[in-house]
């Protein structure tokens, strides 16, 4: 069983509550920082690339979460909480080097038996042109469906996958962007609209 971490840090007259947990369904590690019960920022990182490796275990995921929690605690103690958490920060890999991947059309993805996914890749917050994006759509009854695209000058890329609507029910797609030596991997869940 995996547990999260909760730690209070007092800095001056302010008490910061730092809470970390693993969101296993999304392959994300999330750390939130609260002051007087209000979330002032969060840090989320993807461990999807680690989870895809042979021998990955809950214990290894727990160690990644522990490290992230410790890093946020150190930043809070040093008065640098804004440097590691925010409200609209892009999600990078656990050991990321600036490359981030966002799904930018998550609310309108299915039409005419086609899943049309649009992504944006950024490097240090700026659009990343020329990133190779590969997706792997896992379906319960069939072999996975792979797609590939390259990001344009705005860092955006689009993928189309022909798929029956019933197959969308709780499907997941693993997406990786690679630019030079950098990479980022995210898991996104698809759901049939109600």
| Angstrom distance (rounded) from CA 77 to CA 67 | 15
- The predicted-structure confidence for 37-93, as pLDDT tens digits, reads as follows 999 989 999 999 899 889 999 999 999 999 999 999 999 999 988 877 766 667 888
Q: Which of 39, 74, 93 delimits the end of a domain?
A: 93
Same-domain status, 168 and 118: yes
Same-domain status, 78 and 154: no
Q: Which has the minimum average pLDDT: 10-19, 41-50, 134-143?
A: 134-143
Which is higher by pLDDT, 25 or 84? 25
Task: Specify the pLDDT at position 19.
Answer: 96
Q: Which of 53, 77, 93 delimits the end of a domain?
A: 93
pTM: 0.79
Q: Which of 28, 60, 93 delimits the end of a domain?
A: 93
Domain that holds residue 50: 5-93
Same-domain status, 118 and 173: yes
Same-domain status, 108 and 43: no
- The predicted-structure confidence for 107-130, as pLDDT tens digits, reads as follows 777 778 788 899 999 998 899 999
Q: How many domains does the chain have?
A: 2
Average pLDDT rounded to a whole number, residues 137-151:
82
CA angle 94, 65, 87 (to 5 degrees): 65
| CATH assignment of the domain containing 180 | 2.60.40.10
Same-domain status, 83 and 104: no
Task: Specify the pLDDT at position 84.
Answer: 77
List Cβ<8 Å contacts ≥24 apart for 66-69. Answer: 66/5, 67/94, 68/20, 68/29, 68/31, 68/43, 68/94, 69/5, 69/7, 69/18, 69/20, 69/31
Average pLDDT rounded to a whole number, residues 149-177:
85
Same-domain status, 65 and 41: yes
Task: Specify the pLDDT at position 188.
Answer: 87
| Angstrom distance (rounded) from CA 124 to CA 174 | 22
Same-domain status, 111 and 177: yes
- The tokens of 148 are what? 């590939």
Using 50, 70 and 90 to split pLDDT, how confident is the model at 192? low
CA angle 64, 89, 189 (to 5 degrees): 70
Same-domain status, 22 and 88: yes
């Amino acid at each position: 069983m995996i547990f999260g971490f909760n730690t209070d840090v007092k800095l001056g007259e302010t008490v910061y509550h730092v809470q970390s947990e693993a969101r296993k369904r999304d392959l994300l590690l999330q750390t939130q920082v609260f002051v007087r019960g209000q979330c002032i920022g969060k840090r989320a990182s993807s461990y999807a690339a680690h989870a895809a490796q042979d021998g990955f275990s809950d214990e290894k995921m727990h160690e990644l979460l522990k490290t992230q929690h410790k890093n946020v605690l150190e930043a809070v103690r040093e008065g640098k909480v804004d440097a590691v958490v925010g409200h609209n920060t892009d999600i990078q890999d656990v050991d990321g080097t600036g490359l981030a991947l966002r799904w930018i059309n998550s609310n309108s993805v299915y039409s005419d038996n086609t899943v049309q996914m649009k992504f944006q890749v950024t490097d240090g917050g700026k659009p990343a042109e020329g990133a190779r994006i590969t997706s792997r759509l896992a379906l319960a009854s069939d072999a996975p469906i792979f797609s590939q695209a390259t990001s344009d000058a705005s860092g955006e890329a689009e993928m189309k996958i022909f798929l029956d609507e019933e197959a969308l029910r709780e499907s997941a797609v693993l997406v990786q962007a690679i630019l030079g030596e950098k990479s980022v991997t995210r898991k996104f869940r698809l759901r049939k609209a109600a």
